[in-house]
Structure 1
Amino acid sequence: MSRWKALSESLDPAVIRFVVELRGLKDSSGLSLSQLARRTGYSASSWERYFDGRLLVPFEAAEALAGAVGADPVRLRVLYEAAADARRPARAAPDRPPSEPEAGAGEPDAPPELSEARPQASRRGFARPFARPLPRPEPRTVLIVLVSAVAGSALTLLAVQPWQPDPVRLSTAAAATPAAVPYSCHYTRSNGLWFAGNSDTRTDLVEVDMSGAEVAELQCLLQRAGISPGGIDGHFGPLTELAVIREQQAQHLSVDGQVGPQTWEALRG
């Protein structure tokens, strides 16, 4: 894996995550900067600025890099959009348009007999046609329609019985819900190293989408270092990944979002 320069701490975490993803694709491709420039059409100096986080890479160039290693374009697009939103300056709220004058404002008063006969003007100035009154339905017809509607609703409720629990649905939901694994942090210090009571590993590679006691240990140590991983649930998700990136930046380690021997040593020290 290439030895990358630590990213600036002033960068937004979304930008950092996208740059880290680009660096990982570059490492996986095995391409040099000059080879990458020939393949994407962007100069090697531009790619240096992209990998340093000084400029946001155009998505077409990032997509070409992903295609060289068969990376998931959907995941890359999501990370790119988040980074682009973080780089985009906040837009000022548009001025509120002036309120429209009320209809008829400023017009001379018309005699009552003329104002009653004149059709009202719509907002765009077109005259509305005279509305012909609709015939009133017979009371008996209205009553029949209402009684029929109520009776139909009652029959539907009796047939469906939504208040009764569905045993099949309940059993399926119970089977699909995994049992939660409780994790907690019990900090101890031994031989100058910190442990949280979940795992004593100092070398195991832990990365995104992994779950288990090693991830819970990592989350506890990040929390002890003052960097929130989003909770102690034993799952290496996006919040835990961002916390790892921040720890690697603070310790001037290679920023890749993965936890190996160097990151373990920094967290336990």
Structure 2
Amino acid sequence: MGDGALGRCSRHISLNPEQLPAPVLKKHQKYKPTQLAPAGSQCFHQGAQRGEHQLYDDHSWLSYTLPQQDLNYRPHFSLDMKTKSSKGLILHVAGRGVVSLLALYMANGKIKVSLGQNRMIEHKQKSNDGNWHRVEFSVEKSTFHLLVDGVRVTDGRLPNNEGSSLDLHNPVYLGSDLKGRTTKGHTIPMNSVTGCIRNFKMNDVAVGEPGGRHKTLPCFDGPMEMGTYFGGGHIVLGL
């Protein structure tokens, strides 16, 4: 019942050591797996291992807890994303100071950054073409920046060096603002973009696995076999 996600499973074959030739037995005994699956399982999400996450629903989100001092001193975020959504949240984090919201989002197919009301910059070209795009954005003392595929847009301005007195606070979310707590009062989307995100970094350091998630799957970027794939659901077998 509830959300379900299927990963990729490796076939597990039980071997009888007495049936193995001596050289093979020697290698088998010395083998040490570099990564263990959960007990009783040979399944894992390959996409999650590569730091790739699929936001497949309007209400999908991932949450992260980042170092507070890095979050409030010249934060620099970067990620790769692909989507066909024309509108939706990509990243958002709330603040208690003069900057009450830092948000990366998409509107009319264009990637935008907002640091509160009337403080928005955007990439002029549409990026919702289903291809991977590299997105970087950062905050300085009196400016904030956005680069898409290495192309830098016109910087946004922060009066009175407001970027030096940020009071952003965890968690940092990729995807939707499910209860509207962060985006309330701001003219930005509340729902998530639908698509894939990978290589999420802060200050050029990978942030690791999320602390929480809702309605997400690994990304399937390569060839896939014929079969049935689930974006959340369950199977009932009638025996």
Bigger share in strand: 2
TM range (shorter): under 0.3
TM-score for the superposition, normalised by structure 1: 0.19
Higher relative contact order (CA 8 A, sep 6+): 2
